[in-house]
């Protein structure tokens, strides 16, 4: 038997073929499925393309890499530092990683199956590829290594200190948390707590105009976050902006649930919080109707509460503003990946009303981590590299401070919400749900609506927000803002940033794209458009009150109150 020695040129080809095989194994682990789900033809094309590109990379590396004048940018901000290009080994590693990641995603696209399965595989592959980036590891990151050498190890020492600090805090720091204090430089608009129960405190804000509209405005923020996303700083506070427009503004500040709240249900949040807040604002304002606003889950809660009241023959809303809100949960972007019958049942058995060990809490940290990993490079690995490998303290940023101020949720309430909205999409169907003893029907809400979506929102996709226009029957206006779930909403006019779109006509087609095809873009913030619309529903002007509360409601403590300061 004769043995033939492999040539120098054949050896890298063999190693590349082994790499392809290894890539397949990593695919199986990430996708939780078997390669035969991809057609042999598609797989062969992917393998051939991968081999061609990887061979070119290998040959370039054998020649010492491209010359300085021929080097092409890596096209990924994780590898933007010149240190990645200056080191041929690092440049090769980064390019090979990007090729592997791209190929894995292409494999995910070729899987034969239903769309939800493909989406889950794409998500799993993206999580894997983001996690294994060479930029995330000190031994493979030339930029971090250069910093360590240049600082004589000081950057590593600082990184270890920051890592230990985050271990003690129990979460990855995204901002300098010591720079902020609730009530001092965030949530600092002047006001008073005028009502409280176990579920919420009601804040009334001090008027900034001599006259106010006769109808007060009640804002219901999401219960999965603290209310002060609407009041970060004076210059970007939607609350302050509404007060400056002459509205008497009330805001729900949710309690951060603890072990004493594990039995709370969705009905409790509707009856004891949203409906109670509406009635208190009616009493204090001395008006039969009020203007209302709900943000995200707060909008879903507000819509449910108004439907319950409509079933009771009450129409307390003179207007309804829904910001990035879901009521039709037909398709909801990346969040749909997490929701199926098995997951909901698991939650019901562990923290729901019928859990064997009794109901529990969905911990705020779990929610925060889930949302961060929807954008892992921006909200996770970016900070791992900066905080720990480079020893760079994150700068102060009010929005990220708020983002890290987590909120718990009672298990029974959370499980009901998962099952009847994301899983079964019951809320939009008239008479399907019984809430607070009433068969609810969103079409019975008679108030006019201002419905807002953010074009780049990954939590409430704008077309999902648009679907609300097809559910409610009142007179509706839909406005689309640029940017994402938070940055699109918190866009004050003074900044003169971004843009927004309004319909060319009052028509609201069944499909979102049909509306977008004729929409008109406007520079700047959507807030003035909303303010003009709201003024048309707020009634006449009258003298501003000289003191908060009234009609039996007295100031309990200064805003922002105790509840918002409770930590998860």
Active site residues: 296
> In terms of Cα–Cα distance, which of 309, 310, 329, 304 is closest to 220?
304
Q: Which residues pair with 193 in a beta bridge?
A: 203, 557
Phi-psi region of 166 (alpha: psi -120 to 50; beta: other; left: phi over 0): alpha
- CA–CA distance, 305 with 299 (Å, rounded to integer): 10
Q: Are the CB atoms for 250 and 548 separated by under 8 Å?
A: no
The 217-220 sheet, strands edge to edge: 520-523, 499-502, 476-481, 449-454, 317-323, 290-295, 217-220, 249-254, 200-205, 191-196, 557-558
- CA–CA distance, 527 with 491 (Å, rounded to integer): 8
Q: Are the CB atoms for 333 and 459 separated by under 8 Å?
A: yes
Helical segments of 382-500, H only: 382-383, 398-403, 411-417, 462-466
Sorted by sequence, the CB contacts under 8 Å of residue 61 that are 6+ apart come out as 88, 89, 92
Full DSSP string of 361-413? EE-HHHHHHHHHTTSHIIIIIHHIIIIIIS-PPPPP-HHHHHHTS---EEHHH
Cβ-defined contacts of 45-53 (< 8 Å, 24+): 46/103, 46/106, 46/107, 46/110, 47/20, 49/103, 50/20, 50/23, 50/99, 50/103, 51/16, 51/17, 51/20, 53/99
Full DSSP string of 121-139? HHHHHHHHHHHT-GGGSGG
Count Cβ atoms within 10 A of the Cβ of residue 437 and give its class: 0-12 exposed, 13-18 middle, 19 or more buried: exposed
> In terms of Cα–Cα distance, which of 268, 224, 425 is closest to 339?
425
> In terms of Cα–Cα distance, which of 469, 549, 448 is closest to 515?
469
- CA–CA distance, 312 with 314 (Å, rounded to integer): 6
Count Cβ atoms within 10 A of the Cβ of residue 393 and give its class: 0-12 exposed, 13-18 middle, 19 or more buried: middle
Q: Are the CB atoms for 222 and 414 separated by under 8 Å?
A: no
What angle do helix axes 115-131 and 10-31 make, rounded to 10 degrees?
120
Pairing label, strands 290-295, 217-220: parallel
């Amino acid at each position: 038997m004769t043995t033939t020695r492999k040539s120098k040129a054949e050896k890298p080809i063999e190693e590349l073929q082994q790499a392809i095989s290894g890539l397949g194994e990593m695919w199986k682990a990430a996708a939780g499925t078997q390669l035969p789900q991809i057609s042999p033809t598609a797989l062969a094309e992917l393998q051939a393309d991968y081999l061609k590109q990887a061979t070119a990379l290998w040959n370039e590396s054998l020649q010492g890499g491209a010359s300085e004048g021929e080097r092409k940018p890596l096209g990924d901000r994780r590898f933007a530092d010149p240190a990645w290009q200056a080191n041929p080994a690092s440049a090769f590693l980064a390019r090979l990683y990007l090729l592997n990641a791209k190929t894995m995603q292409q494999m995910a696209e070729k899987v034969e199956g239903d769309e939800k399965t493909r989406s889950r595989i794409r998500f799993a592959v993206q999580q894997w590829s983001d996690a294994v980036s060479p930029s995330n590891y000190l031994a493979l990151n030339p930029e971090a290594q250069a910093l360590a050498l240049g600082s004589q190890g000081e950057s590593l020492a600082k990184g270890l200190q920051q890592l230990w600090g985050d271990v003690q805090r129990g979460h990855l720091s995204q901002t300098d948390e010591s720079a902020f204090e609730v009530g001092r430089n965030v949530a600092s608009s002047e006001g008073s707590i005028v009502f409280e129960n176990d579920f919420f405190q009601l804040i009334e804000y001090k008027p900034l105009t001599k006259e106010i509209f006769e109808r007060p405005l009640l804002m219901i923020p999401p219960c999965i976050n603290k209310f002060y996303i609407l009041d970060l700083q004076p210059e970007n506070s939607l609350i302050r902006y509404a007060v400056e427009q002459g509205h008497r503004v009330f805001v729900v500040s949710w309690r951060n649930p603890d072990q004493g709240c594990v039995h709370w249900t969705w009905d409790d949040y509707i009856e004891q919080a949203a409906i109670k807040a509406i009635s208190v604002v009616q009493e204090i304002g001395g008006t039969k109707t009020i203007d209302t606003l709900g943000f995200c889950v707060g909008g879903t809660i507000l819509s449910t509460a108004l439907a319950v009241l409509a079933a009771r023959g009450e129409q307390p809303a003179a207007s309804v503003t829904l910001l990035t809100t879901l009521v039709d949960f037909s398709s909801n972007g990346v969040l749909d990946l997490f929701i199926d019958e098995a997951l909901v049942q698991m939650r019901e058995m562990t923290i729901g009303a019928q859990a064997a060990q009794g109901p529990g809490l969905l911990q705020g940290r779990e929610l925060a981590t889930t949302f961060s990993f929807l954008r892992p490079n921006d909200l996770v690995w970016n900070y791992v590299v900066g905080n720990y490998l480079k020893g760079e303290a994150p700068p102060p940023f009010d929005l990220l401070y708020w983002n890290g101020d987590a909120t718990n949720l009672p298990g029974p309430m959370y499980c009901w919400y998962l099952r009847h909205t994301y899983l079964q999409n019951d809320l939009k169907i008239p008479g399907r749900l019984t809430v607070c003893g009433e068969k609810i029907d969103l079409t019975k809400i008679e108030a006019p609506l201002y419905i807002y979506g953010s074009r780049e929102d990954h939590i409430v996709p704008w077309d999902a927000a648009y679907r609300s226009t097809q559910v409610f029957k009142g007179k509706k206006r839909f406005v689309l803002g640029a940017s994402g779930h938070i940055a699109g909403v918190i866009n004050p006019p003074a900044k003169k940033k971004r843009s927004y779109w309004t319909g060319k006509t009052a028509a609201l087609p069944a499909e979102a794209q049909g509306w977008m095809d004729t929409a008109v873009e406007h520079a700047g913030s959507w807030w003035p458009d909303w303010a003009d619309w709201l003024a048309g529903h707020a009634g006449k002007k009258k003298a501003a009150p000289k003191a908060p509360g009234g009609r039996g409601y007295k100031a309990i403590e200064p805003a922002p109150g105790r509840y918002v300061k409770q930590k998860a």
